[in-house]
Amino acid sequence: MPRSSTRLTFTVLATGAGVFSMLQSLIAPALPTVQQAMHTSQSTATWVMTAYLLSASIFTPILGRIGDLIGKKRTLVAVLLALAAGCLLAALAPSIGVLIVARVVQGVGGALLPLSFGIIRDEFAPGRVGPSIANLSAVIAAGGGVGMVAAGPVVSALGYRYLFWIPVGVVAVIALVAQRFVPESPRRAVGRVNWVGAALLSGWLVTLLLPLSQATSWGWTSPLSLGMFAAAVVLFAVWMRAESRSRSPLIDLRVMRLRAVWTTNAAALLFGAGMYAIWSFLPAFVQTPRSAGYGFGASVTAAGLLMLPMLVAMFLSGVLSGRLEPALGAKKLLTAGAGLGALACGLLAAWHDRPWQVAVVAGVFGLGTGLAFASMANLIVGGVPAEQTGAATGVNANVRTIGGSIGAALTGVLVTGSLQPSGFPHAAGYTQGFVLLALLCLGAALAALLVPARRSGRAVRSGGAVGADGSAPLEQPAVTTGARD
């Protein structure tokens, strides 16, 4: 593959995945503005976030699997067009109901992550797979930071609808370039789409994530929450049974049982809990007026600027990880990234009296996030058969999202469990929340230590059965991960 074509392919993948990641956090700071403009309640406005979360959780593994079956490039273009359509609908939405539907359509873009990782694995030279995945992961991680930083200035200067108008043009152009220049991956998984498995997967994800995301308004012990959690357990068990018996499973559970996969997913669950909660609660903390006894009374724009060190650090450490992985190995980088996250949250619990302190801590957390994102992606891609790349990386992205929902919900309980007469949380609630996030990130570091070591040059089999010891057996042609732990 010509070098210029490889660069163009990476640019297309990075732009699409970066826009999707940005849309995850871009709307959060603007929710009060949306609520006021749409003349709706706060609980209804939060569905703008919830709908996106649920949609992405459902479509990411399903479309990742479809890409493995029918072609990653074809599926990538369709997903980009759907994302552009969702942004256009959101920009024109006359009511909150239409905006929520538009966010559901945008959630289809979650499949860009597994599809992009799969295309890189299929098309790039073996020596470029690891660094390219690290660079793409850096863009994905930084995209969330861009959303937090850019939301305030865009809303102040142009209005909240331009949070969607701007991505429309970018994604539409990228879809056309992808159709023309991105090559179709030659590898195909054997089988068909297991729609029964897809329906069951969707069912247990919705019944799990919906009460998690609405826990503060519904109540953890309300009949609705408990009923949905019970339904999630039942549907998950039925899904596991159906997938294990299917000749063409949506997600091959044998692959999920590989030690390199389940340990990485465990780390992703715990680190995702810390990361998404920081993204959700740190801007709210700095925007709290000083009259509450903490906070800085920052505007949305000023709060975004305090998050800027996190954005820069995420991108730089993600890119750097691609250079460090051949020497250190993805396992060590994941452990270090989660450890930095724990350090940052621990410092934040005791060190948050000045804006510069928050900025420094945000930078430390960004360093950890960049390392963790890149290494998790490389561990999954390097640990599964090539035809399972889309489904496996989709599951990993979903696990992070589930962890994020859990972390945000638990932190919300601590932060909002006791309110001042003014309606603002007590400072102790935030302190306890930051301590919890430090423990979650520490748990992610411990899970990373369980990831099996992989020697440099060790290859990942492109198809077939899983070894009896739970490891991925070797076969040519193979993808070299280049990791040494």
pLDDT band at 372 (very low <50, low <70, confident <90, very high): very high
Buried b (16+ CB within 10 A) or exposed e, 133-156: bbbbbbbbbbbbbbbbbbbbebbe
The reported pLDDT for the residue numbered 341 is 96
For 40-75, the pLDDT digits (tens) are 886 788 788 888 888 888 888 889 888 888 889 999
What is the mean pLDDT of the segment spanning 425-434?
A: 92
For 168-207, the pLDDT digits (tens) are 999 999 999 999 888 887 777 777 778 888 899 889 988 9
Are 273 and 434 within 8 A, CB to CB? no
The reported pLDDT for the residue numbered 112 is 92
What is the mean pLDDT of the segment spanning 76-97?
A: 95
Work out whether the CA dihedral 116, 117, 120, 122 comes out positive or negative: negative
The reported pLDDT for the residue numbered 299 is 85
Higher pLDDT, 248 or 133: 133
What is the mean pLDDT of the segment spanning 292-302?
A: 88
Say if residue 97's pLDDT is above 90.
Answer: yes
Higher pLDDT, 144 or 91: 91
Q: What are phi and psi of 62, to 5 degrees?
A: -65, -50
pLDDT band at 451 (very low <50, low <70, confident <90, very high): very high
For 324-343, the pLDDT digits (tens) are 888 888 999 999 999 999 99
Say if residue 229's pLDDT is above 90.
Answer: yes
Say if residue 478's pLDDT is above 60.
Answer: no
Are 270 and 403 within 8 A, CB to CB? yes
Say if residue 484's pLDDT is above 50.
Answer: no
The reported pLDDT for the residue numbered 252 is 80
Mean pLDDT over each residue of the chain, to the nearest integer? 85
Give me the residue label for tokens 């660094």: 131
For the whole prediction, is pTM greater than 0.85?
Answer: no
The reported pLDDT for the residue numbered 454 is 64
Say if residue 462's pLDDT is above 60.
Answer: no
Structural domains in the chain, sorted by start: 3-193+248-480 (1.20.1250.20), 194-247 (no CATH)
Say if residue 1's pLDDT is above 80.
Answer: no
The reported pLDDT for the residue numbered 221 is 87
The reported pLDDT for the residue numbered 460 is 39
Tell me which residue of 458, 460, 461, 448 sits closest to 482, measured CA to CA. 458
Category of 71 on φ-ψ map: left (φ > 0), alpha (ψ -120 to 50) or beta: left
- Cα 45 to Cα 356: distance, rounded to the nearest angstrom: 32
Which range among 247-256, 312-321, 443-452 has the greatest average pLDDT?
443-452
The reported pLDDT for the residue numbered 449 is 95
189-194, long-range: CB within 8 Å, 24+ apart, which pairs?
A: 189/65, 189/68, 189/69, 189/387, 189/388, 190/248, 190/387, 191/69, 191/247, 191/248, 192/69, 192/248, 193/62, 193/65, 193/66, 193/69, 193/248, 193/250, 194/243, 194/246, 194/248, 194/249, 194/250
What is the mean pLDDT of the segment spanning 396-402?
A: 85
The reported pLDDT for the residue numbered 468 is 32
What is the mean pLDDT of the segment spanning 219-239?
A: 93
Which range among 200-214, 426-440, 444-458 has the greatest average pLDDT?
426-440
pLDDT band at 461 (very low <50, low <70, confident <90, very high): very low
